[in-house]
């Protein structure tokens, strides 16, 4: 008997809740109809477009919300699937190139006894643009140094090299006096290499 009474009470609550919701919806509809007589067709369309999502609930969903019963519908957060679109990130990078045939030579132009008092040092290399599309500026710095690795002179050269082509970079350094009577070495550094979007 106890279970039957509980069932009857729950049933009566559902019936009462149903009629309350039905009366509420009817009152809302009558109010909307009376108000719409003073509006134009355009305002009716706007009201339909801006209608609250709660007005679109079915009677069963409203009764379920009123009684705290899950109607079985999926929530907008859990039932929906979210797709994430990752924008491709463009990065700037150097084009492909090669440096080869690096050569350095020094020769004495004038001797004073056994000492060289006038010396010239030459430095050269070949730069090749390996990219098949990009033409750009290549910049090379030549550095002439003494045995103590002290920089004596430097030169910066730049050339525009077309795709698939190569260019020889050459620099010379002349030194006179007592400093000429020492070994002169040459090194290089790449300062500018063309870039493209990778």
Domain enclosing residue 152, as ranges? 92-197
- 191 and 105, same structural domain? yes
**Residue 87 covered by a domain:** no
- 110 and 62, same structural domain? no
What pLDDT is attached to residue 78?
A: 47
Q: Copy the structure tokens of residue 58.
A: 């079915």
- 99 and 181, same structural domain? yes
- 110 and 172, same structural domain? yes
What pLDDT is attached to residue 83?
A: 46
pTM of model > 0.85: no
Buried b / exposed e along 95-115 (16+ C-beta atoms within 10 A)? bebeeeeeebebeeeeeeeee
**Residue 32 covered by a domain:** yes
Which H, E and C letters describe 66-118, residue by residue? HHCCCCCCCCCCCCCCCCCCCCCCCCEEECCEEEEEEEEEEEEEEEECCEEEE
- 181 and 112, same structural domain? yes
Q: Could you report the per-residue pLDDT of 109-155, keeping only the tens digit for each? A: 999 999 999 999 999 999 999 999 999 999 999 999 999 999 999 99
pLDDT at 99 over 60: yes
Q: How many domains does the chain have?
A: 2
What's the distance, CA 171 to chain centroid? 41
- Determine the Cα–Cα distance for residues 126 and 103; give it in Å rounded to an integer: 9
What pLDDT is attached to residue 94?
A: 93
């Amino acid at each position: 008997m106890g279970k039957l009474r509980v069932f009857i009470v729950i049933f009566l609550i559902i019936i009462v809740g149903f009629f309350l919701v039905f009366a509420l919806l009817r009152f809302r509809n009558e109010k909307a109809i009376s108000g719409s007589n003073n509006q134009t067709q355009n305002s009716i369309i706007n009201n339909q477009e801006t209608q609250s999502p709660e007005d679109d609930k079915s009677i069963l969903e409203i009764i379920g919300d009123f009684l705290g019963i899950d109607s079985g519908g999926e929530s907008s957060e859990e039932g929906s699937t979210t797709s994430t679109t990752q924008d491709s990130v463009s990065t700037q990078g150097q084009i492909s190139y090669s440096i080869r045939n690096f050569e350095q030579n020094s020769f004495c132009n004038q001797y004073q006894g056994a000492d060289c008092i006038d010396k010239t040092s030459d430095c050269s290399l070949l730069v090749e643009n390996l990219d098949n599309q990009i033409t750009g500026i290549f910049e090379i710095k030549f550095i002439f140094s003494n045995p103590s690795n002290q920089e004596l002179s430097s030169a910066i050269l730049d050339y525009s090299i077309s795709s698939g082509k190569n260019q020889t970079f050459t620099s010379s350094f002349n030194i006179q006096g007592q400093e000429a009577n020492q070994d002169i070495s040459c090194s290089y550094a790449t300062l500018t290499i063309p870039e493209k979007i990778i």
